[in-house]
Structure 1
Amino acid sequence: DLMDPSELAGLNDIIEGQPLVIAENGGEVIRPHPKFRVFATGNSVGAGDGSGLYQGVLRQNLAFMDRFRVVHVGYPEPTIEKEIIKAQAPRLPDLIVEKMIAVAGEVRRLFVGAKEGGAELTVTMSTRTLVRWAGLSLTFKGAPKVFEYALTQALTARAEPEQREAIHRIAADVFGDYWAGSQP
């Protein structure tokens, strides 16, 4: 959904399995393999961004979007996220990883919002951010309040002050004594 819709419309025939003809190469014809597939990702399902959180995404052509099957993908289960983090930051103790995942879960819950009310946060913690937080916790090992500092660098430095404070409060509650200065 960051692509210009008029440029993407040029892919319609290819997405439908028609051969690609490259005029600039003497009319070369490239026939698709029977298992050829196109995968695309986006944060707006092609509908543009009404929330203001994903500025720059474009509303896509309905005919183009009709050629796709849409699959909504949530965050990985905690056990999967733990494996992802441990693969990237293997020296981080399991207990700390589990606490980080718990913080991420609460931040995500507040970002999505309750069914009756709206979202309480305008930033969330992606798996990418969670991995960054874990890695920075190891990078800054030995620093005072390492988890707080790493969280600031990974996520909350870009949050509004009230939201930064709320996220750090969540982390402090989840981490308990570890938040005050224990090392990974």
Structure 2
Amino acid sequence: MSAKIINSNKGLLIQGYFAFLILFTFSILFYKERILFFDTVFQFFKILNFEKFNIEAGRYSVFISQIPLLLGIKMNLPIETCMYIFSVSFVVLYFLIFLLIAKTLKNTAVGLAFILIMISNIDQCFFYLTTETHQALAYSVLLFALRFYDFKNRVVEFILLTVLIVLSFFAHPVAFFCILFVLAYYFVEKNDYKNILNYVYILFTI
């Protein structure tokens, strides 16, 4: 690996750490404003009251972002502490996705795009943390990075891509368009018309 690529990856990681540090800090400072928002407080109350995952409109992928809150509830933590946990859990989830893209998959371009997605129009969505479209977009970006990763084991590649397609779609139906874009873009970019799996992924999505 060239020094230029190494420096590029390091610079990306520093930018990512800085961006998510700010988001994490603000999610703590403004935890009440984030939780006591109309849709968020509704979901928070249901999870707190029934002590189980709250799935609305068949968007099953959101269970991942609810795990920290449920653990806090099961540990009988104070409500205020649970509010803190729920507020920061989304930032932590997106940060982990960023690390997967930038460190594990080593995709600098997609990692930078992910940072921009997380901070673009932040004034419009920062207090609406439970929006499933944000999660669908995050999983779709991860799908993009995975699709362009050079897997050595095709079975592992197939399993991961299939799981991520399902995860993206069941975060929000709008991910359907993101998934198709990722698959079609790879199809054209790689000029890989003979690989039957490309067609399988597209048909599976449809």
Instruction: Find the structure with the greater CA-based Rg.
Output: 1
Instruction: Indicate the structure with greater helix content.
Output: 2
TM-score, scaled relative to structure 2: 0.33
TM-score, scaled relative to structure 1: 0.35
| Higher RCO (Cα < 8 Å, 6 or more apart) | 2
